[in-house]
Amino acid sequence: MTTLPKQYTDVQVIAWYSDTFPNIPGKEKYINFLRQQSIDGELLSSYDNSTELSEGIDSKLHRDNIIKKWKSYVKSFNESTPDPDVTLPVESSDVSLTLPKMFLLVKPCQSGKTGEAFSHLNGLIEEFNTEGKQRHIAITFVDNNLILAGQTSIRSQNILKECESIDFTSKSEIHSADVVRSTILDNPKLGNIICCGHTTRFSDIDWLLPRFPLIKFTIYIDEADKIATSNKVVDYVNSWERNSNVNQIIMITATSEQLLKKYNNITLLPVNEVTHQNYVRFSECQYMDFNPKIVSDENQYSPNTYYVLEYFKNNTMNNGEVYFIPTSTKRKDHDEIEDVLIDGDYVNVVIKINALKKQITILRGQTPTEKKKEIISFKDIEGSTKKELSHWLGDYYEKNEGSTKWRLAITGNICVGRGISIQSEKCSISHAIYGPAISSMPKANKYQIGARILGNIRNFKKFENDTFPIIICQKSTYDQINRMEETAILIANKSTNQNSSYGLSDYKADYSISKHDFEYPEDKSGVRWYDNNNDPNDLKTKTKAKFKKIDNKWCNHDSKLRIWGDRPAGGCNSKNKTHWTLVYENSSYTKYAIVSVKLTKKSGD
């Protein structure tokens, strides 16, 4: 008896049957048979063997009928053909079908989610390359933003091992599904396809998957809460989860609430590290509460521009300072803030990034008669097409002596709101102004755009004295971004439990406990800090709590690492109750203190 491998699809059964018994009529008869089943024979005639034929067939055929028809068709040509016992796949007995297929990768914004995803992909490349397993290709969707697509492409070239990547975007050489299909056939080294995350690309991938039933696909969807929650895309993703040649689907985001409303109970993908020791959190940045009264009938500008102007009435930008000043999604507001800042001499350089314009405006000249605006398109700047934005911008800033000559502002909204890395050692953002346009955004978008100033920046020269970026915004905005960040960290910490399922109710619980209804001591400088080599259990403190060490870092009994400002250990059942909590000075986790944190039971969101 001959047994068919269980992972084979309907069409692969036919291909396998043909290849196993060579006395069966060849390609021409095979194509004729498939034509009778209303399959495009013209398309199939371009293939050279039954394996390639199977990759060109849309396998929406009834399994039992097609096999019976094929056997009957073969017997009509050669009665002596053996009739093996073909064991068809049985879903309930296939162990792989009982394993989770959809995963959620959550980390804080700018903490290295792309690196985690490509690390996971490197593991799959190694696994599928071992012992001649079947071919594997990753599909990587990114937010619908060509700058982000380019950034992801560059990172894939630097991180991925033993595979080639292609960009499948409207501006790339490969910009149609048919060309992608040909590239897959012609390039056996192709292992990653990067796409912008709009409905057309999801449709293209849906068309491609069934044409390659012998290839295993792993699908990564970055910023999934934004690009994978429309009804149409949800239908595609759910169908891919049932597809036998889809290995895994990895949803990637720092803000997962909207995603979990569409795909409840997703398995958390374990992360290698929640944050790097050089990662700077939003809560570690300096904060300036700024809430001017905006009188609309006296205001000729948008509320956000007015807010920025009110700030600059009493504050001056110095050479070498870089302000991140996002505004609304309207391009006219981008133009307005650019004109107001330069014409008022608050800044002398503005970087504007939106779908229509990606440019740097530089105010040249010293006297009023000499002053003139020079507009430089990104595409005209050396390295802009081959390097990440943060890298080439840093080079350009250094080349133009920005640290001594420029007062720089960066503005935009959608194109700088998700995924894009702006911070660099050479051009470090020193301030951020988040006005009414940001305060009015949904909390996920608010956190995403607010976190553009973050990242692994602790070792940057500008921040060597822990003088991290200054955030200017309303208190409600500051608190909500902090809360979103803490929720992302809580979820990432939970991912260390293997096969941990996570749903909307879990998210709501984590978001609820991230509310800052507690108070730390007012004077952080008056707290005694200890190096990691000091065992907190040996210290003379006012608490009887016991502490433990995990990965060379100390924590409370609940095994959660905390930095100053994080929610304390223990419950929150009564007002004015205090909890002794071990916290680190910052996310470098080098110095800790044991402090008394008071619960305040503040109300509100």
Residue 29 in any domain: the answer is yes
Please check whether residues 357 and 422 belong to one and the same domain: yes
For residue 239, the one-letter residue type is S
CA atoms of 158 and 146, how far apart (whole Å) = 19
Angle ∠(476,477,483) on CA atoms, nearest 5: 90
Beta bridge partners of 579: 597
Nearest one of 230, 252, 301, 279 to 120, comparing CA atoms: 252
5 lies in a domain?
A: no
List, for residues 6-49, the tens digit of each pLDDT value.
333 444 445 544 544 444 444 455 555 554 544 444 444 444 44
Return the C-alpha torsion angle 207, 208, 209, 210, nearest 10: 70
> Is 213 found in the same domain as 110?
yes
Rounded Cα–Cα distance for residues 468 and 170 (Å): 38
Rounded distance between C-alpha atoms, residue 150 and residue 194, angstroms: 9
Residue with tokens 């952080």: 524
Judgement on whether residues 71 and 219 belong to the same structural domain of the protein: no
Q: Are residues 67 and 125 in the same domain?
A: no
> What is the reported pTM?
0.77
Contact 422, 324 (CB under 8 A): yes
Q: Give a yes or no: residue 509 inside a domain.
A: no
Question: Is 414 found in the same domain as 321?
Answer: yes
Same domain flag for 159 and 253: yes
Q: Is residue 55 part of a domain?
A: yes
| Residue 104 and residue 84 share a domain | no
Question: HSE on the CB side for 123, CA within 13 Å?
Answer: 8
> Same domain, yes or no, for 410 and 482?
yes
* DSSP secondary structure string for all residues of 390-404: HHHHHHHHHHTTHHH
Token match 């149609």: residue? 176
Give the containing element (helix H, strand E) for 235. Answer: helix 231-242
- CA 11, 13, 14, 15 dihedral sign is positive
Neighbouring residues of 420: CB distance < 8 A, sequence distance ≥ 6: 145, 147, 148, 151, 389, 452
Residue 201 lies in a domain: yes
Q: Which residues pair with 194 in a beta bridge?
A: 140, 167
Q: Is 417 inside any structural domain?
A: yes
Say how far apart CA 360 and CA 282 lie, in whole Å. Answer: 27
Is 511 domain-assigned?
no
Is residue 406 within 8 A of residue 363, CB to CB? The reply is: no
Give the per-residue pLDDT at 32: 55
Q: Which parts of the chain have pLDDT scores under 70? A: 1-98, 131-132, 295-299, 498, 571-576, 601-605
Measured between alpha carbons, how far is 416 from 449 in angstroms, rounded to an integer? 7
Q: How many CB atoms lie within 10 A of CB 499?
A: 10
Domain boundary (225, 243, 268) is at: 268
- The per-residue pLDDT for 250 is 98
What are the two backbone dihedrals, phi and then psi, of residue 151, each rounded to the nearest 5 degrees?
A: -60, -45
Residue 515: name the closest of 474, 443, 567, 444 by CA.
Answer: 567
Helices (H), 263-364: 303-313, 331-343
C-alpha–C-alpha distance, residues 535 and 533, integer Å: 6
Closest CA to 7 of 84, 86, 97: 97
Residue 225, φ and ψ in degrees, nearest 5: -65, -20
What amino acid is encoded at 305 in this protein? T
Answer whether 408's CB lies under 8 Å from 318's CB: no
Q: Which domain holds residue 51?
A: 10-91
Q: What is the pLDDT of residue 98?
A: 57
The CATH number of whichever domain residue 151 belongs to comes to: 3.40.50.300
Residue 207, judged by CB atoms within 10 A of its CB (0-12, 13-18, 19+), counts as middle
230 and 341 share a domain?
Answer: no
Of 58, 91, 124, which marks where a domain is finished? 91
Three-state SS at 168: strand
Q: What angle do CA 342, 369, 407 make, to 5 degrees?
A: 30
Residue-wise pLDDT tens digits, 48-95 = 444 444 444 433 333 344 455 555 555 554 555 544 343 333 333 344
Q: Is residue 494 part of a domain?
A: no
Q: What's the structural domain count of the chain?
A: 4
Strand stretches in 89-200, DSSP E: 102-106, 136-142, 164-168, 190-196
Query: Can you give the CATH number for the domain in which 351 is found?
Result: 3.40.50
Phi-psi region of 269 (alpha: psi -120 to 50; beta: other; left: phi over 0): beta
3-state secondary structure at position 120: helix
Co-location of 401 and 481 in the same domain: yes
Measured between alpha carbons, how far is 285 from 149 in angstroms, rounded to an integer? 29
- Mark whether 335 and 433 lie in a shared domain: yes
- Number of neighbouring beta carbons within 10 Å of residue 283: 19
Distance CA 311, CA 340 (A): 13
Question: Which residue, of 67, 91, 115, is where some domain finishes?
Answer: 91
The rounded distance, in Å, linking the Cα atoms of 250 and 139 is: 10
Domain identity same for 331 and 480: yes
pLDDT of res. 76: 54
β-strand partners of 350:
361, 409
Sequence-ordered list of residues with C-beta below 8 angstroms from that of 220, at least 6 positions apart, any chain: 117, 121, 138, 139, 140, 141, 250, 252
